[in-house]
Homo-oligomer: A and B are copies of this chain.
Amino acid sequence: MISLADLKRRIENSELSADAALSQSLQAIDAHEQTVGAFVCRSKEPRAASCGPLRGIAVGVKDIIETSDLPTEMGTSIYKDFHPRADASIVTMLKMAGATVVGKTTTSAFASHDPTTTLNPRNHAHTPGGSSAGSAAAVAAGMIPLALGTQTGGSVIRPASFCGVAAIKPSYRLLPTVGIKCFSWTLDTVGLFAAGVEDLGIALSAITGRPELAMDALSRAPRIGVVTQEFAPKADAESEEALQTAVAAVRRAGASVQRPKLPDLISQAYRIHPVIMAFEAHRALAWEYHGHRGDIAPELRAYLDKTVDIPQSAYDAAQSIALRAGTSLIDAFCDLDVLLTFSAPGAAPKGLTSTGDPRFNRVWTLLGTPCVNVPVIIANGRLPVGVQVIARPGEDATALSAARFIEDALRRHTS
> Which residues of chain A have a CB within 8 Å of any CB of chain B?
68, 78-79, 82, 85-89, 91-93, 95-96, 173, 176-179, 182, 185-186, 208-210, 280, 283-284, 286-288, 290-291, 312, 316, 394
Q: How far is the CA of A7 from the CA of B234 in the complex (A)?
A: 58
List 6 contacting pairs A-B, 8 Å CB cutoff, sorted by A: A86-B287, A86-B288, A87-B286, A89-B287, A178-B185, A179-B287
Q: Which residues of B contact A179 (CB under 8 A)?
A: 287
Known: A185-B176, A312-B208. A283 touches B79 (CB 8 A): no
Q: Which residues of B contact A291 (CB under 8 A)?
A: 68, 87, 92
Q: How far is the CA of A288 from the CA of B91 in the complex (A)?
A: 12
Q: Which residues of B contact A177 (CB under 8 A)?
A: 185
The 8 Å CB contact of A286, one of B92, B173, B284, B312, is: B92
Q: How far is the CA of A315 from the CA of B206 in the complex (A)?
A: 17
Q: Is the Cβ of B185 less than 8 Å from the Cβ of A283?
A: no
Closest A-B pairs by Cβ, 4 of them: A92-B286, A86-B287, A87-B287, A178-B182
User: Quick one: closest B residue to A280, CB to CB?
Assistant: B176
Q: Which residues of B contact A182 (CB under 8 A)?
A: 176, 178
Q: Is the Cβ of B68 less than 8 Å from the Cβ of A286?
A: no
Q: Is the Cβ of B96 less than 8 Å from the Cβ of A286?
A: yes
The 8 Å CB contact of A178, one of B88, B92, B283, B316, is: B283
Q: How far is the CA of A218 from the CA of B179 in the complex (A)?
A: 41
Q: A87-B287, A92-B287, A93-B283 are in contact. List 12 more A-B contacts (CB 8 A).
A: A88-B287, A89-B283, A89-B287, A92-B290, A93-B286, A96-B290, A173-B185, A173-B186, A176-B182, A176-B280, A176-B283, A316-B394
Q: Which residues of B contact A290 (CB under 8 A)?
A: 92, 95-96
